[in-house]
Amino acid sequence: MKKLLVTLTPAESKRLIARGILATNVVQNALKNGYLCITMGTTSGYIVEEILGEYDKTRHIAGIVVPKGLAITDGTKRYTDAIFHKGQYVENTKVVDILDKLGPDDVIIKNANAIDENYTPLVLLASPTGGTVGAFIGAACAKNIKIIMAVGLEKCIPASYDEFCGQFGKDDWDYAIGTPVGIMAVTQGITFTEIEALEALFEVEAIPIAAGGVNGAEGSVTLFIEGGDEETARAYEYLLDLKGEPPFPKVEHVK
SS3 call for 95: helix
Q: Tell me the C-alpha to C-alpha distance, in Å, between residue 126 and each of 70, 170, 182, 203, 254.
A: 9, 7, 6, 38, 14
- Give the Cα separation of 213 and 222 in Å (integer): 10
Give every CB contact of residue 196 below 8 A, 6+ residues apart in sequence: 20
Alpha carbon distance 136, 16 (integer Å): 26
Q: Is the pTM of the predicted complex or chain greater than 0.95?
A: yes
Report the helix count and the strand count for the chain, using DSSP H and E. Answer: 8, 14
Cα angle 71, 75, 80; round to 5: 115
pLDDT at 105: 97
Question: What's the pLDDT at 243?
Answer: 98
Closest CA to 125 of 113, 138, 142: 113
186-190 mean pLDDT:
97
Looking at residue 191, its pLDDT comes to: 98
Structural domain boundaries in the chain = 12-193
For the segment 33-65, what is each residue's pLDDT rounded down to a tens digit?
A: 999 999 999 999 999 999 999 999 999 999 999
Residue 217 burial class via C-beta count within 10 angstroms: exposed 0-12, middle 13-18, buried 19 and up: middle
- For the domain made up of 12-193, give the CATH fold: Rossmann fold (3.40.50)
Instruction: State the Cα–Cα distance between residues 250 and 219, nearest whole angstrom.
Output: 16
Q: What is the pLDDT of residue 55?
A: 96
